[in-house]
Amino acid sequence: MKSRPVLSVFVAAFAVLSSLTAQPSGGPYGPLQQRYELPKSGRIHFVSPDGDADSAGQALEQPTSLAAAIARVVTGDTIVLRGGTYRTGGLVLSQGVTLQPYADERPVLKGTELARDWDKVGEGRWRTKWTRLFPAAPADWWRRERHEKDTPLHRFNNDMVFVDGDLLASAGRVEDVTAGTFFIDYENAWVYLGLDPTGKTVEITAHDSALVRTMHVAHDKPNDGRGPTIRGLTFTQYAYRALEVEGVEPDRKMDPAQFGKEIVGTTFEHVTISFCSRVAGYFRGDGMTFRHCLIADCGTEGIYVINSGDLKIERTIVTRTNSAEKIAGYYASAVKIFNQSYRAVVRDCLIIDNPHASGVWWDVGNVDGVFVHNWVERTNDGFFFEISRGAICVGNVFANCNKGIRVLNSADVQVAQNTFFNSVAWFERSERSAVGDHFGWHPSAGPDVTERHGHVFLNNLLVADETFAGALLHTTQTEKVRDRLKDSQLAALDGNVYVRRAGVKLQPLIVWSPVPTEKNSADVFDLAELRKLQPKFEAAGRALPDYRGPLFRSAELGNFELLSGFSGANVGVDLPAAVRAVLSRDNGSTPRHPGAFPPGAALGASRN
């Protein structure tokens, strides 16, 4: 795994929905080793990788197979998995049951099978017959004329090949196969390698899902409406996706009472999902929770949530999304919250090392999102809120991102007490609407063109070193809306501190739009210029255009605790009530400061 932030001090007491401070908690993050007790209610089904499908699985010493247990369980039952590798897939479940390990053992579900029979077919080339193949094509909205030069079509196939645990890249022709690539002849069902497989473990995808929680009848049992609880399991090496929770999807702007109710309460705790060729999973249904999970090395998305209410993602790591294939033009995202999801909360997570994907993207028609106390690093558009209404983004760290936050064609987003290091805050609006849109009706689920305003940007700390070019804050709009949208997107802008360590070329502090000029925008180099354009903004803000004094405990180690000697350490304004509620902060109970970390805080953050 690549280097990632590791918080130096563990904070034991972090409330479920709030904190008395504005910064990330300090961890721990991701799956933690647990010892699972046997449940005291419901029937227990013991399974093992070599379990006998004919066994009832009611005794630890006589386990059944996982597939047999899935077929037998009813609401309230528990499947207890012994440790080991389960090469399985295509499992379908309609009941609200629990899946967990036995004690502290480690069950791993794999979507690959071992490839053992290879023939040498030329110098530096070997092949095997393989009939479980998953050819695929890009979605119909993918612009081939724009992106095929960067993303050849064979990258969209869902097959994967691993040699001694390492994922190989696909090649477009058998002649192009090298030691680090593979080629599939789909017409004749051959898989080719460019290295000698003798003495190596070669795994090839054989399943395109591990488990689907269906909303239909399965194993002669109707959907009971209760989501599964999955704890302590690892799902890896699946073509397409590992998990799916089904549900009704809106085909227009709809009342949320009409969807998200088919399967409710799905819970994932201490779960790892890795190396899925497209997404870790598609997840639907109200009341879903991801807690202490790891989502790594998946294709175009990690967690993909669709039209769900009251989602919670907590203490979870999402990393290296789209890093293997680097598919262009597919809008990859570590977490996507899509199509009329309400009240989703992403809290105290690590969204790291996703340079070819967005971070957490609320995409179209979503309402009242919360993004709080997260650490986002080396990830584009860390917090991305598009064509949606109402969000609070507070107490986060954005480090070395392209855009730390991106608010696009949205309304009423409150951004406060965040630390941006070499990362831009970006507010943007355009003429995009449901009329003639490439994605059809979807823009109609969010605020219309004239409703894209009402944002708040308060008490943020924006810092750039000499390697960072460009403005720290952008408020932009397209030329086509200049005559329709003459007001600012921001309702409040104050208490922010802008810090630069200047390089050779003078850089703007802010790019501001709209302004009554031919460009409809202006580069702002100090706050006095901004106040001339917008007298009500940044009355308490401060800009330090070439600052060399005390600032962070150690930016080099990712420790963004403010030093008490920083000249902007006490800048700030009163926060709106909704933001204070998320922070559980009474107005005035905590000294004002910019950014996520108070000056001289006992906690700092460091990365290895």
Answer yes or no: do 241 and 383 share one domain: no
Question: What's the pTM value of the predicted model, to 2 decimals?
Answer: 0.93
Q: Which of 94-98, 546-550, 583-587, 604-608 has the highest mean pLDDT?
A: 94-98
Task: Kindly state the percentage of the chain with pLDDT values over 70.
Answer: 93
Answer yes or no: do 389 and 529 share one domain: yes
- Is a pLDDT exceeding 50 seen at residue 102? yes
Residue 22 CB contacts under 8 Å (≥ 6 apart), including other chains: 373, 394, 395, 417, 583, 585, 595, 596, 597, 598
**Alpha-carbon span 262 to 14, nearest angstrom:** 32
Burial 144-169 (b: 16+ CB within 10 A, else e): eeeeeeebeebbbbbbbbbbeeebbe
Does residue 366 form part of some domain?
A: no
Confidence of residue 14 (pLDDT cuts 50, 70, 90): very low
Answer yes or no: do 487 and 533 share one domain: yes
Report which DSSP code applies to 297.
S
Confidence of residue 21 (pLDDT cuts 50, 70, 90): low
Give the number of domains in the chain: 3
Write down the residue that tokens 């972090």 correspond to. Answer: 14
- Is a pLDDT exceeding 70 seen at residue 604? no
Phi, psi of 439 (to 5 degrees): -105, 20
Give residue 139's identity as a one-letter amino acid code: A
Answer yes or no: do 457 and 535 share one domain: yes
CATH number of the domain where residue 167 is located? 2.60.40.1180
Does residue 72 form part of some domain?
A: yes
Write down the residue that tokens 């109402």 correspond to. Answer: 390
Radius of gyration of the chain (CA): 25
Answer yes or no: do 236 and 156 share one domain: no
Specify the 3-state DSSP secondary structure of 237.
Answer: strand
Q: Which of 86-90, 113-117, 152-156, 420-424 has the lowest mean pLDDT?
A: 152-156
Check residue 514 and give its pLDDT.
95
Check residue 352 and give its pLDDT.
98
Does residue 291 form part of some domain?
A: yes
Answer yes or no: do 526 and 399 share one domain: yes
252-265 mean pLDDT: 93
Answer yes or no: do 289 and 405 share one domain: no
Residue 600 CB contacts under 8 Å (≥ 6 apart), including other chains: 561, 562, 563, 564
Check residue 606 and give its pLDDT.
45
Does residue 602 form part of some domain?
A: yes
Return the H-helix or E-strand segment holding 580: helix 577-583
Check residue 436 and give its pLDDT.
67
Q: How far is CA 457 from CA 370, 388, 561, 564, in A?
A: 15, 17, 21, 23
Specify the 3-state DSSP secondary structure of 426.
Answer: strand
User: What single string gives the DSSP state of each residue in 505-562?
Assistant: S---SEEE---SSSSS-EEE-SHHHHHHH-TTS-SS-EEETT--SS-EEEGGGTEEEE
Residue 331 CA from chain centroid, whole number: 12
Specify the 3-state DSSP secondary structure of 464.
Answer: strand
Q: Which of 30-44, 52-66, 166-180, 577-591 has the lowest mean pLDDT?
A: 577-591
Determine the structural domain holding residue 141 and report its residue range. 112-205
**Alpha-carbon span 575 to 391, nearest angstrom:** 15
Check residue 549 and give its pLDDT.
94
**Alpha-carbon span 137 to 150, nearest angstrom:** 15
Contact 144, 162 (CB under 8 A): no
> Which of these three, 162, 181, 205, is where a domain ends?
205
Answer yes or no: do 213 and 155 share one domain: no
Contact 301, 244 (CB under 8 A): no
Answer yes or no: do 414 and 399 share one domain: yes
16-36 mean pLDDT: 78
CB atoms inside a 10 Å sphere around CB 546: 11
Copy the structure tokens of residue 550.
């005390």
Does residue 295 form part of some domain?
A: yes
Phi, psi of 297 (to 5 degrees): 60, 40
Does residue 44 form part of some domain?
A: yes
Burial of 18 (0-12, 13-18, 19+ CB in 10 A): middle
Confidence of residue 11 (pLDDT cuts 50, 70, 90): very low
- Strand locations in 31-121 (E): 44-47, 78-81, 84-87, 91-93, 98-101, 107-110, 112-114, 119-120
User: Where is pLDDT greater, at 545 or 80?
Assistant: 80
CATH number of the domain where residue 242 is located? 2.160.20
Q: Of 289, 283, 279, whose CA–CA distance to 229 is shortest?
A: 289
Answer yes or no: do 464 and 409 share one domain: yes
Answer yes or no: do 174 and 290 share one domain: no
At 502-555, the pLDDT tens digits run: 876 889 999 999 998 889 999 999 999 999 999 999 999 999 999 999 999 999
- 443 has which bridge partners? none
Confidence of residue 435 (pLDDT cuts 50, 70, 90): confident
User: Where is pLDDT greater, at 141 or 264?
Assistant: 264
**Alpha-carbon span 393 to 383, nearest angstrom:** 8
Does residue 357 form part of some domain?
A: no
Give the side-chain half-sphere CA count within 13 A for 63: 17
Q: Helices marked H in 117-192 — which ranges?
A: 144-147
Cis peptide before 514 (omega within 30 of 0): yes
At 356-406, the pLDDT tens digits run: 999 999 999 999 999 999 999 999 999 999 999 999 999 999 999 999 999
Answer yes or no: do 84 and 119 share one domain: no
Check residue 608 and give its pLDDT.
37
Does residue 360 form part of some domain?
A: no
**Alpha-carbon span 456 to 416, nearest angstrom:** 8
Give residue 431's identity as a one-letter amino acid code: E
Q: How far is CA 496 from CA 1, 506, 558, 595, in A?
A: 35, 20, 21, 8
**Alpha-carbon span 32 to 23, nearest angstrom:** 22
> Which of these three, 313, 331, 347, is where a domain ends?
347
Contact 464, 457 (CB under 8 A): no
Check residue 504 and give its pLDDT.
66
Contact 308, 286 (CB under 8 A): yes
